Structure 1
């Protein structure tokens, strides 16, 4: 299995896809998941509720956003893998963040939720063959392949890890 082509996703999504190392989706899922869980464990407790600026999300809100986005991208991948070509709407991340009930004390359960969602994503993508991974649909007004959605899941999490490392510490 090769990486998705630039024609497999919207141009803006390259900022995420390009962050994923290697050529194989499943090995990337497994190694990056271990790294991400270790990263989450390394965040000092006093930083979980920290936001680096007015109107910016706290780290706990960022993790909730990563989880929500992974669920949405995996749902899109499921729809397209099953040959559902219904165009899917985008989502407004700030609306989701504002509606989510997250508190610093929930950090351990939120980390466990991330692990569960990620393991479900891995199980889903592991069962897809090359034909299913190449299937396409339209999400947020852009064509996207199932394979590209897997890379988007990973690259999106990496993006937010880098933001946390650069702006929260």
Structure 2
């Protein structure tokens, strides 16, 4: 299934921009290509610029990268639970609270890259292990229905969203 074919009833409308960012991409290629694209971007960021933020109140580059990692972990967990037919509703999470506690300012580029690579490889392995015919299984997260496949597409689309922000607002400013 392509992201553009995903029924809107399988995810909260808040995530529509992430789904739309993928267009006609299939799930597994989007996860796999996303790994390559993000590793390439991270390796090109100078270590000295991880603490850069383009404006007051915005996240640093390291914090943006840690948000990707934390969010992907949370969405992996949701996908696993829903695929395994867990019916307990899951609460939302406050990304700003996570950023305060993620320790981004103490991490090196190599540490962030290693952590990101491990998490994305885990996502690829997780979604590869799922049988195609059960990807439409769903559960409740943040008071909304979420399907397993929607969570995979959101992981990919969330990364594209942040890649674009890093390219447009951060990396142009630090070259």
Partner of 2:39: 37
* 1:16 pairs with one of 2, 18, 25: 18
Partner of 2:121: 119
The count of corresponding residues between Structure 1 and Structure 2 is 169
Unaligned runs of 5+ in 1: none
Kindly report structure 1 stretches of 4+ aligned residues shifted beyond 4 Å: none
* 1:142 pairs with one of 137, 141, 144: 144
Q: Give 1:104 deviation, angstroms.
A: 5.6
Alpha-carbon distance in 2 for matches of 1:102, 1:82: 33
Alpha-carbon distance in 2 for matches of 1:116, 1:137: 26
- Greater CA deviation, 58-67 or 44-53? 44-53
Query: Please, what TM-score do these two structures have when normalized by structure 2?
Result: 0.91
Could you give the per-residue CA deviations for residues 137-160 of structure 1, whole angstroms, max 9, x where no partner exists? 111111010000000001111111
Alpha-carbon distance in 1 for matches of 2:45, 2:135: 34
RMSD of aligned Cα (Å): 1.3
Q: Which secondary structure does the structure 2 equivalent of 1:138 belong to? A: strand
Could you give the per-residue CA deviations for residues 43-96 of structure 1, whole angstroms, max 9, x where no partner exists? 233321101111211000111110000000000000000000111000000000
Q: Which secondary structure does the structure 2 equivalent of 1:97 belong to? A: helix
Alignment of 1:67-146 (within 5 A): 67-103=69-105, 105-146=107-148
Alpha-carbon distance in 2 for matches of 1:23, 1:114: 22
Alpha-carbon distance in 1 for matches of 2:108, 2:67: 14
Do the aligned partners of residues 166 and 43 (structure 1) sit closer, same or farther apart at CA in structure 2, a change above 3 Å counting?
Answer: same
